[in-house]
């Protein structure tokens, strides 16, 4: 899960990189650190306002954690380790979120969530320093809506985002990212492993970047958080299910 999700997130970087760089550059070494600044445009369109929350579908408190299994193998815990202010908003940060790790030599960066008026947000940004003669790359933060807990089945939201990629020796690259979210089920029951969760909302979040489509499905259980998620990109389909959790 960690490697797959990491590659999924870096997909935006490689789209920009491949569309703007010549063959003189070698492959990028993924040694990543927290970016020093942003530059993303997180303006949205469609049904993007907040509403009256119907409950807590992603409890965000420091030390909350969720452990998922993928193909029968337990993955590293998804744990909230602290809080951070960004653009005047308070975010909860993770050492690992949906397989993207902020620890070790594979990935470090801004990986955080917040919620406001029933809207749940995921924020991520990266910076790849110059290593071994490769150019440095920084990608401005994107804040993606992953759930609106007050929407009814078949109701949707959209976002039209702009992400800026800066590569050494190349003019800044602007990439349009379009997000479409949809509630597929709500107030449902879902059996995950040996546990049946109630009050479940299932959503579909489709990310379209220059014609490349990344489809995600999330199942949120009230007072628990994400209990299952599925990612489909470039013919690869991965599913992860909750095996244990701690809510403080």
Ordered alpha helix ranges (H), the chain: 2-20
CA neighbor of 58 nearest in space, from 239, 232, 181, 218: 218
CA neighbor of 189 nearest in space, from 201, 173, 200, 178: 200
Q: How far is CA 1 from CA 63, 69, 71, 98, 127, in A?
A: 21, 9, 9, 8, 21
Q: What is the CATH number of the domain that holds 97?
A: 2.40.360
Spatial separation of the C-alpha atoms in residues 214 and 206, rounded to whole Å: 6
pTM given for the model: 0.80
Give residue-wise pLDDT tens across range 117-144.
Answer: 999 999 987 777 777 888 888 888 889 9
Give the structural domain span for 86. Answer: 2-246
Ranges of residues in the chain whose predicted pLDDT is under 50: 1-46, 104, 106-107
Beta strands in 129-211 (DSSP E): 137-148, 156-167, 170-192, 195-209
Distance between start and end Cα atoms, the chain: 25
Q: What does the radius of gyration of the chain's CA atoms come to, in whole angstroms?
A: 18
Give residue-wise pLDDT tens across range 41-78.
Answer: 444 444 557 899 999 999 999 999 999 999 899 999 99
Q: If DSSP codes are grouped into helix, strand and coil, which group holds residue 198?
A: strand
Q: What is the pLDDT of residue 98?
A: 82
* Domain tally, the chain: 1
């Amino acid at each position: 899960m960690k490697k797959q999700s990491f590659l999924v997130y870096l997909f935006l970087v490689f789209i920009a990189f491949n569309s703007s760089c010549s063959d003189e550059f070698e492959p990028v070494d993924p040694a990543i650190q927290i970016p020093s600044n942003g530059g993303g445009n997180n303006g949205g369109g469609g049904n993007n306002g907040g509403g009256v929350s119907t409950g807590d579908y992603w409890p965000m408190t420091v030390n909350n954690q969720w452990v998922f299994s993928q193909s029968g193998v337990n993955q590293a815990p998804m744990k909230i380790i602290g809080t951070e202010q960004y653009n005047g908003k308070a975010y909860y940060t993770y050492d690992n979120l949906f397989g993207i790790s902020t620890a070790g030599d594979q990935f470090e960066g801004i990986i955080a969530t917040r919620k406001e008026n029933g809207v749940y947000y995921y924020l991520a940004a990266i910076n790849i320093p110059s290593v071994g003669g490769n150019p440095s790359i920084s990608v401005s933060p994107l804040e993606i809506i992953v759930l609106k807990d007050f929407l009814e089945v078949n109701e949707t939201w959209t976002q039209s985002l702009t992400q800026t990629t800066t590569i050494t020796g190349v003019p800044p690259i602007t990439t349009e990212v379009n997000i479409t979210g949809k509630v597929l089920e709500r107030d449902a029951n879902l059996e995950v492993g040996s546990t049946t969760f109630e009050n479940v909302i299932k959503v579909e979040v489709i990310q379209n970047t220059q014609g490349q489509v990344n489809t995600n499905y999330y199942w949120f259980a009230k007072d628990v958080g994400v209990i299952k998620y599925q990612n489909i990109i470039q013919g690869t389909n991965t599913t992860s299910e909750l095996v244990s959790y701690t809510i403080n």
